[in-house]
Amino acid sequence: MSANWFIILSAILFTIGAVGVLVRRNAIVVFMCVEMMLNAANLAFVTFAHTNGNFDGQVIAFFVMVVAAAEVVIGLSIIVTIFRTRRSASIDDASLLKL
């Protein structure tokens, strides 16, 4: 099976994730879209590693997963905290940083 298909799948997943981040308001969904983008990147890494015949890409994919796991913990806890205080999971409501 050609590596191209994997790359195309990776690109599609990444695009869905990016569009999801941009258009969705729910913080949980946005978060899942971010995860999807990370996984799309992972898929690309692994594909290229396979194509090139070494393990660099595989190793990086592991790193990404570890970092993503840690990030999920912190991200979700922030979202939960915000939800508790504001009774809302919409990221547009959390816009206090504007000037």
Partner 1 sequence: MHSLLIGLPLLGAAVLLLGGKRTNAWGHYFATAMSIGSFLVGVASFSEMFGLPAEERSIEWTLTEWISVGSFQVPIAFQLDQLSIAFVLLITGVGSLIHVYSIGYMEHDANRRKFFSYLNLFVSAMIVLVLANNYLLLYVGWEGVGLASYLLIGFWQHKPSAATAAKKAFVVNRVGDIGLSLAVMLMFAFFGTVTFAGVNEAADNASEQTATWIGLALLLAACGKSAQFPLQSWLLDAMEGPTPVSALIHAATMVTAGVYLIARSNEIYNIAPTAQLAVVIIGSITYLMGAVIGTAKDDIKKGLAGSTMSQIGLMILAVGLGPIGYVFAIFHLLTHGFFKAGMFLGAGSVMHGMHDDVNMRHYGALRTAMKITYATFGLGFLAIIGIPPFAGFWSKDEIIKVAFSYSPLVGVLTLVGAGVTAFYMTRMMAMTFFGTARWDDDVHPHESPKTMTIPMIILAFGSAFGGMLLLFVADIESWLEPVVGFEHAHHAPDNAILIPVTLAVVAAGAALGWIQYATRDVPRVAPADVSFLTTAARADLYGDAVNEAVFMRPGQYLTRSLVYVDNKVVDGAVNGTAGFVGLVASQLRRLQTGYARSYALMMVLGALVILATAVLVRMS
Q: Which of 1, 22, 69, 74 binds partner 1 (CB under 8 A)?
A: 22
Closest CA to 90 of 34, 4, 26, 21: 26
**Is residue 28 a contact residue for partner 1 (CB under 8 A)?**
no
Task: Return d(Cα 32, Cα 83) in angstroms, integer.
Answer: 17
Instruction: Tell me which stretch binds partner 1 (CB under 8 A): 16-24, 45-53, 61-69, 73-81.
Output: 16-24
**Is residue 99 a contact residue for partner 1 (CB under 8 A)?**
yes
Q: Tell which positions 77-96 bind partner 1, by CB under 8 A.
A: 91-92, 94-96
Task: Return d(Cα 12, Cα 4) in angstroms, integer.
Answer: 12
CB of 2 to partner 1, least distance (A): 22
Q: Pick between residue 59 and residue 78 the one whose CB is nearest to partner 1.
A: 78
CB of 11 to partner 1, least distance (A): 12
Using DSSP's 3-state secondary structure scheme, residue 9 falls into: helix
Listing DSSP states for 70-85 in one string gives: HHHHHHHHHHHHHHHH
